[in-house]
Amino acid sequence: MCNPNLKVLISLGGWTWSKNFSRFSMMDASCKALVTSCIDLYVNANLPNAEGAGGTGVAKGIFDGFDIDWEYPVAVGLPTNTYHAADKQNFTLLLVEFRTQLDALATANKRKYYLTVAIGVGADKVRNTEPGSYRMHLDWVNVMTYDFHGGWEAAGPTNFQSNLFRDPTAPVTGDLIKYNVDDAVNALIAGGMPKTKIVVGIPFYGRGWKSVAADPKGDDLYQSASSPAAGTYEAGIEDYKVLVQKRATQYTHAVTKQLWSYDGNEFWSYDDPSVISTKSSYVKTQGLGGLFSWSLDGDDARGNLLKAMTAVRQ
């Protein structure tokens, strides 16, 4: 069934395509040119001609706006990305330019265009942006509340990839202490972001390790490992639809509310419908804007994770 109210936004950037955000945001002229070209290509749909395809406005009406996924301003991200200390302010200025040009287009076309961002979490990433300044230019903020820990920590210790709350006993220090959903949300609120614009991310995949060291408790949480566990697409990551079929004992941490499984060799941290239900209740209780997922193809055939996410509306 067609949904006439469905809005489709195109995401720009991401982990592998954020190389030049810093460079093009550095000067006003290049920032304006970047935004103009994006609107021309994706909203006005003036596609380049290639092998008989393309043309002026041939795909107009598909996209209702943009989601800016700059990973990440100032630092972190891929080592091939461009970075600069001025990214903190330029991230805001880039969003101002997108909003300015989209509003002008909205006036001309007598319709609304949306602007959102996907942002990293953790104190290190939040302090490299200005939530109190860019909030007014956005319809909402997709907070990527996952990938807190994973296979890049190849030898462990095994840990949660999307825990709701902080565990005071976890073997982490510094900024990693605040790598959890609740601390991320509170950091954004403290930075000036309205609760109603905060949308919490739910991973439809897990992070895992193999050859995990023996633990007297038997659950192998916070233990050393040999390497990331094997995955369908890459080591250390696997879809929920695969993980739920594994023969492994499942545990749910009483403090963090995160699930993990252990089969005597592999440790996997992921969300199931019960964990998502807890997060949905948190979102509703806190008065947040909602939930989003990455990504739908990781769900099982019955869509059980997506169904659990709808609990936030009840």
Catalytic residues: 71
- Contact between 8 and 65 under an 8 Å Cβ cutoff? The reply is no
Q: How far apart are CA 263 and CA 219, in angstroms?
A: 9
What is the DSSP secondary-structure string of 87-152? HHHHHHHHHHHHHHHHHHHHHHHTS--EEEEEE--SHHHHTTS-HHHHGGG-SEEEE----SS-TT
Tokens 């109210």 correspond to what residue? 5
| CA-closest candidate to residue 295, choices 217, 212, 188, 202 | 202
| CA-closest candidate to residue 65, choices 17, 16, 31, 99 | 99
